[in-house]
Amino acid sequence: MRAQAGPVERSAATRPAADAFAAEFLTPQSSILPLLPRRMDIARLAELRGVWGVSLQSLVYRCRELGLISDATASRTYQRLRALDGQPGFTPESVSNFSGEQPSLLGQAFDLAAKETNLSVSELAHELAWANRRVRDLLGVQEQRPVLHLVQ
């Protein structure tokens, strides 16, 4: 059927653009380029993986895309990473292990709203139907409850 060929072709044609967008979104060139090794260094990429929260394969892709390594070097590195898969330090990390960014503008917006309307974290959490702890975490607000200490 000819009708189905169009979307498949468009999908295949948009893949490189989607990959380039994702790479730039997750590892912006202006920020990541000074940190990437000029020669393939898996140990350095492993360090960057922990900072940027992306896979080693993604960092290899970015090195190749930015012209730091050749296609052949990228191919050999991917093969090496497949061989190391499952070894300590080379297992994929869960995104839950990556703390991510702390949104600073969100906290500032809440402070402004709290001053102007006496909004509390509890009220905001109720409006959002979220747990108080989740809202405090996103706002970077410490819990206000007293901490009890055992004295002997």
Domain tally for the chain? 2
Residue span of the structural domain in which 50 resides = 2-97
- Write down the pTM of the prediction: 0.59
The model's pLDDT over 71-89, given as tens digits with 9 standing for 90+, comes to 999 999 999 999 988 888 7
Task: Say yes or no: 44 and 12 in one domain.
Answer: yes
H helices present in 42-141, as ranges: 42-52, 56-65, 71-84, 104-117, 121-128, 132-139
Task: Say yes or no: 19 and 68 in one domain.
Answer: yes
Task: Say yes or no: 116 and 70 in one domain.
Answer: no
How far apart (Å, rounded) are the C-alpha atoms in residues 123 and 129?
Answer: 10
Task: Tell me what pLDDT residue 2 has.
Answer: 45
Task: Tell me what pLDDT residue 61 has.
Answer: 93
Task: Say yes or no: 65 and 131 in one domain.
Answer: no
How far apart (Å, rounded) are the C-alpha atoms in residues 9 and 43?
Answer: 38
DSSP letter at 22 equals H
How far apart (Å, rounded) are the C-alpha atoms in residues 32 and 48?
Answer: 9
